[in-house]
Structure 1
Amino acid sequence: MAPGEADLAYHGAAVMADGRMRVWFVARNHGPEAVSDATVRLRWSVPLGVRQVLPEGCVRAGVRVVVCRTGELAADGLGERVELAVGLRGVPAEVGLELDTVWGGGAVDRNRGNDRQRVLVLDTGDTYYF
């Protein structure tokens, strides 16, 4: 049986102040078929602090990387909001954050452009949307 086809995308926001960053996002499957689960990778341009408290469904996967499950995504459906706060090493003035799909539940995603997001977040307390 051939794998189904999906079109995953991520939209959300990030805010940074005093060496801590909050990130929240929602996964969307533009379809045409449902996805049983997917995994999104969040990668920071600076190392994360040694100890992190991450929400259920998210795990640390490297010095600068966290991966999170999206859960089931219906065709043309939204996932649950994923929200996490991480401590960064030091107090950087700016940090790049990248999100992309690591695993799409076995579905084929022919439009990989919209499941890769990049945002530059400044240490201002302002919210940056992606």
Structure 2
Amino acid sequence: MEVVAVRRGVVRSVVVAGLLVLGGAGAGPAGASAGASAGPEADVAYHGQVALAHGRLRIWLVPENEGPAALANATLRVRLSADLADRQALAGGCARAGLREVVCETGQLPLHGRGRHVGLVLDLREREPEVVVRIDTWWNGGATDRNHANNEHVVLALDTGDAYAF
């Protein structure tokens, strides 16, 4: 099991690249223009668990690539329905992207292989009875991904400590 552990400067450059791509006309969530195929084709997928207990959200996931091409890197995005606490101890390779958002590098996604396991422990600003967690690909280097069903997830986590799989 490999855990995300890369320099923060690398994450910032990926975040900036994603912002530049998203600022362009017609950019979608993964940075590809509608109707245009600018790069390789890949099928990024995320599988994992979400658990909420006492105002602390735990997320563990594994990025995968079903191909047909490998990716050098991608950035996944985690969006919440509740505000994050001001201070967060984020895993290496992850950065805060807003009041309710965190982005993390996946690392290399080989053809029919897995990226780094990503583990997040996020403190909420206030304790909530439930939180909606949205996970998707924020940046993928311009690759085309025709199957968004396996990389766009919405999970409702109740404040019970139970793990919800996606």
TM-score (norm 1): 0.96
Q: Which amino acid aligns with 1:43?
A: R
Whole-angstrom CA distance in 2 between matches of 1:62 and 1:18: 22
Query: What residue number does 1:97 align with?
Result: 133
Selected match of 1:15 from 45, 51, 62: 51
Moved over 3 A (4+): none
Shift of residue 113 of structure 1?
A: 2.3
Q: Which amino acid aligns with 1:30?
A: E
Selected match of 1:45 from 50, 56, 81: 81
Query: What residue number does 2:147 align with?
Result: 111
- Matched pairs, number: 129
The structure with more helix, counted as a fraction of residues: 2
Shift of residue 16 of structure 1?
A: 1.0
Query: What residue number does 2:122 align with?
Result: 86
Q: Aligned to 2:62, what secondary structure does the other structure show?
A: strand
Selected match of 2:104 from 53, 65, 68: 68
Query: What residue number does 2:14 align with?
Result: none
TM-score (norm 2): 0.76
Q: Aligned to 1:101, what secondary structure does the other structure show?
A: strand
Shift of residue 87 of structure 1?
A: 0.4
Q: Aligned to 1:84, what secondary structure does the other structure show?
A: strand
Q: Which has the higher contact order (CA 8 A, sep 6+)?
A: 1
The structure with more strand, counted as a fraction of residues: 1
Shift of residue 70 of structure 1?
A: 0.1
Identity %: 51
In structure 2, runs of 5+ residues without a counterpart are 1-37
Selected match of 1:31 from 67, 86, 100: 67
